[in-house]
Amino acid sequence: MQGELGQKSHRAVSDAALDRLLPPETQLPSELHAAMRYACLSPGKRLRPAFVLGSCEAVGCDVSRAHDAAAAVEMVHCFSLIHDDLPALDDDDLRRGIPTVHKAFGEAVAILAGDALFALAFETVARYEPATLARDLVLELTRATGSEGLVAGEALDILVEGRPVDLDTVRWIHERKTGALIAASCAMGGLIGNASPPTVDALRSFGMAIGLAFQVQDDILNETSTPEQLGKAAGSDRARGKATYPGLFGLERARDFATELHQRALAILDEIGHCASLRGLARESVVRSA
């Protein structure tokens, strides 16, 4: 780690930006804003914001320029968690060690809080100057999230539950469900830092490799951890017949695959400048127990 971005600080920086950008609970409808804040400011790794900040630092830009975009990707992440946790989808009661949004606020408010976070994320990046950067950030985020990105991954993940799947399908789901937003987070940091198109592409590829590695590790932890360690349900993937690498390969080969992706991601960084923060974040994404 180096520069402004220490191991501890990226969470504080992201949370300060989220707190500033999210409407106050005193504003109508209070329950909606309370749910949005509950989702975004609950304990969590703030990994995606850290990738925005780390990528901005890597291309030599003042990291404070990236604070709002960091908050925006966390809003998108929380929108997707809220909807994914709903009874009609994964039906999870626990997230980040506390009740999921629909458990705390009811399903109607949860659905709408997700929608509102999604809109606020786009508004946040659309406010960047100059307008060409704002537009690039919006497009980076829409491509990563829509029916060819995050939402596509979530949909196929649900649709293939309990069905036999091949490696290509698992990869297709994971690239979209997890890889796409982490890839976009890295690209956005580069865009804000005015990096060249090849550098932005390299950051996106790095993010995709680490995003996949993160998801493989997530699936491994789902099989091997307790709910207390994870702050969410454990063993649930197998119970639901989810498409996962450990399910397809076994734990050992899944671990090897995560390591291989980690190495591939680090090799991409060799092309880019000041990557100490990104290397640290890559390690945090793969070598972790929660």
Residue in 6, 60, 106, 250 binding a second copy, rule: CB under 8 A: 106
| Closest approach of a second copy to the CB of residue 168, in Å | 11
The strand pairing partners of 2, in sequence order, are 5
Binding to a second copy in span 231-290, by CB under 8 A: none
For a second copy, the binding residues in 15-34 under the rule CB under 8 A are: 23, 27-29, 31-33
Q: How far apart are CA 176 and CA 158, in angstroms?
A: 13
159 binds a second copy, rule: CB under 8 A: yes
Q: Is 167 in the site for a second copy (CB under 8 A)?
A: no
Cβ-based nearer residue to a second copy, 12 or 88: 88
Our finding on whether 130 is near a second copy (CB under 8 A) is yes
Least Cα distance to 75 among 33, 20, 116, 31 occurs for 116
* Shortest distance (Å) from residue 31 CB to a second copy: 6
Distance CA 59, CA 275 (A): 8
Q: Phi then psi for 191, rounded to 5 degrees?
A: -60, -45
Number of residues binding to a second copy, judged by CB under 8 A: 53
Q: Which one of 1-9, 13-21, 125-133, 184-192 is the stretch in contact with a second copy (CB under 8 A)?
A: 125-133
27-47-223 Cα angle (round to 5):
110
Alpha carbon distance 54, 117 (integer Å): 23
**Ordered DSSP codes for 184-252:** HHHHHHHHHTT--HHHHHHHHHHHHHHHHHHHHHHHHHHHHS-HHHHTS-SSHHHHHT---HHHHH-HH
**Which one of the spans 84-92, 190-198, 227-235, 256-264 is the region binding a second copy (CB under 8 A)?**
84-92
Rule CB under 8 A: say whether 114 interacts with a second copy.
yes
Among 131, 162, 164, 226, binds a second copy (CB under 8 A): 131
Cβ closer to a second copy: 15 or 90?
90
Measured between alpha carbons, how far is 220 from 238 in angstroms, rounded to an integer? 11
At position 48, the amino acid (one-letter code) is R
Contact 46, 22 (CB under 8 A): no
Stretch that binds a second copy, among 47-55, 141-149, 214-222, 234-242 (CB under 8 A): 141-149
Binding residues vs a second copy (CB under 8 A): 23, 27-29, 31-33, 36, 79, 83, 86, 88-89, 106-109, 111-116, 118-120, 122-123, 126-127, 130-132, 134-135, 138-139, 141-143, 145-149, 151-152, 154-156, 158-159, 172
